[in-house]
Amino acid sequence: MKSAQLEISYSVYQDSDELSESDKNLLLRAREVTKLAYAPYSKFNVAAVALLANGQIVEGTNQENASTPAGLCAERVLLSTASMLFPNIQINAMAISYDNLQGKSIAPATPCGICRQTLQEYEDRLKHPIRLILGGLEGQVFIFEKAGLLLPFAFTGTAMKKN
Ligand code: THU
């Protein structure tokens, strides 16, 4: 027996002004797009904005429902939209922001578990890392060079392969 460790690297920026022009534009857009969320129950507006390899921008916001499990996260609304409108076009980067209408929106929020699973499959499928730019309406910004970093030991289709 031996023990093993995992290390996850990411970058921490003090605020959005430290970002490259392109990353900053995506995050500023995500902050703006939080206004389009439909989140009357949680009052937690989330937006995701992606830059595709063909230069197109695709956006998503959380879409809630009185029946809670019917709600969708911003990231998965974006990925479904991108997959339908631009099938097979890789996603280079995705900025995710939020507006907590009942509290502060300062620390970066990271994608939920189901979104991590969905992001990681998108990366696998198109064989391309998605850079995540995570920030609230102000404050620190985290950048992960690949969404899959947030889901070590991910369950993938490989496990279901037939012999
Ligand atoms: N939410 C997202 O849109 N993305 C995440 O990664 C975390 C959570 C939404 C779902 C729900 O509408 C609200 O935030 C509160 O959980």
Q: Taking 90 as the threshold, does the pLDDT of residue 32 lie above it?
A: yes
75 catalytic residue (yes or no): yes
pLDDT at position 9 is 98
Residue with tokens 């990366």: 123
* Residue 6 placed within a domain: no
Mean pLDDT of 35-45: 98
The count of domains in the chain is 1
Q: How far is the CA of 124 from the centre of ligand 1 (A)?
A: 23
* Residue 112 placed within a domain: yes
CATH of residue 19: 3.40.140.10
Quote the CA–CA distance of 98 and 47 in Å, as a whole number: 6
Q: Taking 90 as the threshold, does the pLDDT of residue 142 lie above it?
A: yes
Do residues 34 and 59 lie in contact, with contact meaning Cβ atoms separated by under 8 Å? no
pLDDT at position 61 is 98
Quote the CA–CA distance of 127 and 120 in Å, as a whole number: 10
pLDDT at position 163 is 82
Q: pLDDT grade, residue 16 (50/70/90)?
A: very high
Structural domain containing residue 70: 11-150
* Residue 132 placed within a domain: yes
Quote the CA–CA distance of 147 and 42 in Å, as a whole number: 25
* Residue 159 placed within a domain: no
> What does the pLDDT look like over 77-127, one tens digit per residue?
999 999 999 999 999 999 999 999 999 999 999 999 999 999 999 999 999
42 lines ligand 1 (CB under 6 A): yes
Q: How far is the CA of 163 from the centre of ligand 1 (A)?
A: 38
Q: How far is the CA of 56 from the centre of ligand 1 (A)?
A: 24
* Residue 103 placed within a domain: yes
Q: Count the neighbouring beta carbons within 10 Å of the beta carbon of residue 32.
A: 14
* Residue 5 placed within a domain: no
Q: Is residue 81 within a helix (H) or strand (E), and if so which, with residue range? A: helix 74-85
Catalytic hit among 75, 121, 138, 145: 75
